Structure 1
């Protein structure tokens, strides 16, 4: 009989694969493997992900150095960066992992019968969680085996996964189905979404304003009120310096200005690291 954790890793394989494929632009596939402990701890990256499914419910994911470097570099290559430092590759891997883990929350929610969210996670020392029951998530691109993500769950999460979900209200005959269980008529794509929560699908449809910054400057009020037609304002950026791409008041990339079918565009040359993004909030 399939255990609750075996069910979860099998379902996660079906959502993590497409999430990683979207980030890398590759035909990445994920498949649930049997029980196996991390084999390569030297240089491995371990992540501790808490959830609000129950107090103490935690997911651990460990990747060997070969896998996390390959996956992180694939994300950067998809963004046009072929040469990156280890810290950038590590950061890109962790961002990709968190994107993949975000698809696990609706799966847990469908199991326990309520919405489950991921809480802030953090890196931890590989091998610190000894004695855990590990299972594998094998990644491949159809032609090449990339390696295995090692996944373990806390006893608290295993307990809540193994419990029966609370029964929902029984509708009276003739009552319309609840709004949160029924989309608009004929909405087949919504019906095929991950059961338990449509939050991720809704977020993916949100439109974000994208802006380009050619530079900034500061001036005194007495100079600003003198501006008129034909005035020139000098910016703190040279002609050869890359422009900044801004999403949600945050610089996410830099590149050069190009012309695309008569319109201005930007060719991305650099993806800003997470640390630098925090320092460049507008």
Structure 2
């Protein structure tokens, strides 16, 4: 059961987009009894979304903010090595770790946050 959930969580929209339609993956909707396939999502594949990886947060008073200068350090609420939050369109969807991709920063997702509030690692 857990392996099946992991497999579903690992499937991404690009996999669905490249699906040839033969034996379409069913996306069950038990509430209305309608069975949907990956092809039903096709119009959504090109919709842009905003992705944010949040390292941490800090609260400052205005006078502290005004005193910031080059070289100043703002301490965040996360510890080194602690997972960062990944938001899609301002909704928390995952947690992950910062990685280096050539000369750019990237994020490896280590935990997917399910809609019902439970997480899937």
Corresponding residue number in structure 2 for 1:234: 75
Matches within 5 A, 1:1-282: 71-76=4-9, 78=10, 97-98=28-29, 101=34, 103=36, 200-276=41-117
**Structure with the larger helix share:** 1
- Unmatched runs of 5 consecutive residues or more in structure 1: 1-65, 80-95, 105-192, 195-199, 278-282
Q: Which has the larger Rg?
A: 1
SS at match of 1:201: helix
Determine the structure 2 residue equivalent to 1:55.
Answer: none
- 1:105-132: CA deviations, max 9, x gaps? xxxxxxxxxxxxxxxxxxxxxxxxxxxx
| Residues 15-61 of structure 1: per-residue CA shift (max 9 Å, x gap) | xxxxxxxxxxxxxxxxxxxxxxxxxxxxxxxxxxxxxxxxxxxxxxx
Cα distance in structure 2, aligned partners of 1:243 and 1:225: 27
Name the TM-score, length of structure 1 as normaliser. Answer: 0.31
TM superposition shift of 1:271: 0.6
Secondary structure of the structure 1 residue equivalent to 2:98: strand
Q: CA RMSD in A?
A: 2.7
Note closer, same or farther for the CA distance 1:70–1:214 as it changes in structure 2 (3 Å cut): closer
Residue 245 of structure 1, CA deviation: 1.3
Q: Aligned pair in 2 of structure 1 residues 75, 207: CA closer, same or farther (>3 Å)?
A: same
Gaps of 5+ in 2: 12-26
SS in 2 for 1:206: coil
Q: 2-side partners of 1:204 and 1:273: how far apart? A: 20
* Distance (whole Å) between structure 1 residues aligned to residue 88 and residue 65 of structure 2: 27
